[in-house]
Structure 1
């Protein structure tokens, strides 16, 4: 089983979103983290406050 790889920006967003979900309900942040895809490079973890397509500058086209 391969783990997901994150850019530094996406890792920060993942940690922030995990903490936020834990404030909503105990265990929800942990559940969120287990749902992250395996074997891919993750460039962004967008919360509700992010503008659409804010992450496009992080991706080589």
Structure 2
């Protein structure tokens, strides 16, 4: 059986990486974007999508 994931932890992941991406964008607008900024935003988007997929799976799973 697959490991169950906490919905609170998944929402925390979404919130944390959304904040990281927002701050990276703010810094990029202020100081210019670098390759590292784009890598951070791409990695953050991957982690957000993963957490959202876990939330969707937990919602569709019968109780």
Provide TM-score, normalisation by structure 1: 0.36
More strand by share: 1
Provide TM-score, normalisation by structure 2: 0.35
More helix by share: 2
Which structure: larger Rg? 2
